Each structure stands twice: as C-alpha cells, then as structure tokens.
Structure 1
Amino acid sequence: MKTGTREAMVLSEVLRTNACMVDHNNLYLNSCQDQQLRSILERQQRHTLDSFQRMVQMMQSHGMDTSKIPMPTALTMATGGQSTQFTTGAQMTAQPYSTGQYASGSMYTTGTAGMSTSMNPQMTGQTGMQTTAINDKMIAEGALLFHKCGADTTTRAALESSEPHLRNALTNMARNCIEMSYEIYNYMSQRGWYQLPETPQNFISHSATQQQYPPQ
C-alpha cells in the first residue's frame, strides 16, 4: 500500500473514534452530577476537540481528503453542517494533556456526592422496557473505556504511519489518551469505583524451573 493511502485510512479511523468520543462526552456532561467529574470531562473534552481539529488540519496540509470524516456534533453545529476547513498556518503540533489540579496523586472527595439521590434508578421508555438511569459511576466507566480505546487506536495508527510528522502527532495523541485514562482511573479509585481483585489464597504460581522441567 502506498504511503499516503495507508495514512489516510488510519487517520480516518482515529478521527472517527475521536468524533464518537466527543459526542458521547456531551451526553455524559448533560447527565453528570458530580462537579469534580464534570470539571475533568470538560477539560478532557476541550483537549479532545483541539486534537481533532489539529489532526484534520494536518491531513489537509498533506493533501488528504477530509470531506468523508464524520465531524463531532459540536463542530457540525458550529459550521452549519458544512465541510470544515482549518487554517493551515496555525500550530499543528499535538499539545500534551495536562491534568491540572487533578494530577496523579491528588485526592478526590470521597462519598456519594456523585450519586444523585434524586435520580430515578429506573425509567420506563416508550417501548415499555425498563432502563437504568445513568449515574456518575457509569459515566466515569464509559469515559475510561473511551480513552483506553483511543490509546489503542492511535498507537496502532502510529505504528502504521511512515510519515514522520503524522507519526509523531499520533504518538502524542496516544500518550494523551493514556494520561486522560489515568486521570479518570485516579478519580474512580479514590471513590472506590475501581478496585482491583485480591490475589486468591490458593493461587498457584509456577516458577521458571517448574515450567522448564514439568513433572513426569
């Protein structure tokens, strides 16, 4: 596959993932009750949108067609549904994500502030089926999974890209996804929403010697 075609394919997949992430974050923000979680999501949303615009700009500067790439709803509404073109003279280097006051090691307020008691745990839709109301724990879980998916997608895209500028930008995007996922993890861990399983007491660990010389 020629250089350029391969980059266009992997970048399109990265931007599709980012657009989906932005749209879901908008849904999360509409339902988020905890102000701490809302602050994290808003900061991450701004960074993701900025990264999306920079990557589209880089594609356009390399002569790639971006008209088929789905745009986040926020950008589509801002441009009236028209194809978005970004100024090629602006800075295109991916910026590192900063967690701000929620850096690793910072403490979050514990308790149930994010679990609104006014939320009906079950709602009946038009189909008559019961659905569970979304809460802050679900939102954090979804955001964490999106960042993990983003890190995986952008890492694979960087491995498939041979153009130096695009590869570096994708590498930075992957690193930023990792930082954002770690920020969400710290938030969830402090609230007791992300607990690792304890090692079973009867867990058997096979040493290298046992693996090399199995019992006869």
Structure 2
Amino acid sequence: MELPIHQNNAPSMQNIPGQMYHGGHELFEIHELLSNTISLLDQYMILRQLAKDPELVDMMNRQYQFVSDSYNITVEALKTGNKPSHPKQTYMMKQDHSTVYGIKPSNPAKAVQSVTEINDQKISTQMLQMMKSAAFLHTIAASETVNPVLRRILADNVPNYLEMAYEIFLYQNKRGYYQVPQFDRQTTETTVNRFAPVQTNLPQNQATGYNQTH
C-alpha cells in the first residue's frame, strides 16, 4: 500500500545546507552538462597533440583554459549554493568577423582510417561540434535550474560557448573547411522582406460584447 505524502513534512529551506538548494531536474541536467564538459576537455587535450597549425593550437589553449575555469565555477556553485570565489569571465576571441561566402568543389567528407589522417580540418570540426553541444546543454540546464546562483552562471555562459563556436567557425571558414552557400540576390531580398515589425504597445482593452453575468 502506498503511503500518503504530507507536504508539511517537507524540510524548510532555512534548515538545509546550501548544496541542497537544487531540484531533481536540475541535478540531472547538471550531471549531463558537467560530464559533457569533462569529455570536451579530454578531447581538447588529445587533439591538441595532433594539431599542426599554431593558430589552431593557440585557440585550443585559450578555449581549454576558459572552459576549465567555467567548469570549476559551476562545480563550486553546485556544491555550495553560493556565489563562486571569483567572478565568471567573458570569452574574447581573436578572429575577425569577416565571412567568406560561396561554395567551391572539395573532397567528400569521410571517416578516417588511421590516426595519421587526422588533420587540422578534422580537429577543428570536432571542436566546433563539441562547442555547439556545450551551448545547447547550458541552455537546457539553465532552463531547468531553480538555484538562482547556479542558474545565472549557466545562463551567462551560453553566449561564451556560442562565441567559442563562432570563433572555430571563422577559423574553418577562412581556410575553406566550412563553406557558406548563399541564395541569389532576389531570393535573399524576398526572404528578408517577408517580415514586418509589430506594434510594441498593446491596444487598449475593448468591450467584447460578452455578458459576464450570463
């Protein structure tokens, strides 16, 4: 026989330690996020040994350092329920924002058959996929987190992971690894102009004719 649940037996928030200020859903999401972050750091450590382009190695080093600090801050907030010992940083990339548009013939993508085939294109592609995944997981975790300190850390980190992903994209685009197709001018202009702005102020309430006493 199932025992009844009495709400008045729930522990008061004033009587539990900071590390217990978490809901079940957020702990599942945080567990997934932190495990993913460890995998990201492990992969960066492995791939760094195979990278040849000094610019790519420098980017990996900067991103590894940032993600490591972000991970430590998140773990600290998770364990204590308080503000971390030092503020979260904002990631600053080195790439400019210019994008090369257009498609040029290239070899079909395929899986490598040997470690010797892993080149800077393969490495940067893996980096980009991991950063996109990290941005997604931070967004989901932040939307499920009820602890205000932890939620703010996760939400504020979403732009940082998107920035790192964008930096990797720009690196790839500049070398022809990530090509960007475009529509013709007419199709682009037609698509852009399909949307019009809306009024930002709500109209005044008007009588609907509905008889509320009916």
SS of 1:32 mapped into structure 2: coil
Structure 1 unpaired stretches of 5+: 64-87, 108-122, 124-129, 209-216
| Structure 1 residue 37 corresponds to structure 2 residue 56 | yes
Work out whether residues 90 and 160 of structure 2, in 8 Å CA contact, stay in contact via their aligned partners in 1. Answer: yes
| Structure 1 residue 18 corresponds to structure 2 residue 37 | yes
What is residue 196 of structure 1 aligned with on the other side?
A: 180
Give deviations 1:32-88, integer Å, cap 9, x for gaps. Answer: 00000000000000011111111111111039xxxxxxxxxxxxxxxxxxxxxxxx8
What is residue 151 of structure 1 aligned with on the other side?
A: 135
Alignment of 1:165-184 (within 5 A): 165-184=149-168
| Structure 1 residue 131 corresponds to structure 2 residue 150 | no
TM-score with structure 1 length normalisation?
0.65
Counterparts of 2:22 and 2:46, CA distance in 1: 37
What is residue 54 of structure 1 aligned with on the other side?
A: 73
RMSD, aligned α-carbons: 3.1
* Equivalent residues, number: 160
SS of 1:162 mapped into structure 2: coil
| Structure 1 residue 98 corresponds to structure 2 residue 92 | yes
Q: Which protein shows a greater Rg?
A: 2
The alpha carbon displacement at 1:147 in A equals: 0.5
Structure 2 unpaired stretches of 5+: 1-20, 100-111, 195-214
The alpha carbon displacement at 1:13 in A equals: 1.1
| Structure 1 residue 164 corresponds to structure 2 residue 148 | yes
Give aligned-pair identity as a percent: 27
What is residue 14 of structure 2 aligned with on the other side?
A: none
| Structure 1 residue 187 corresponds to structure 2 residue 171 | yes
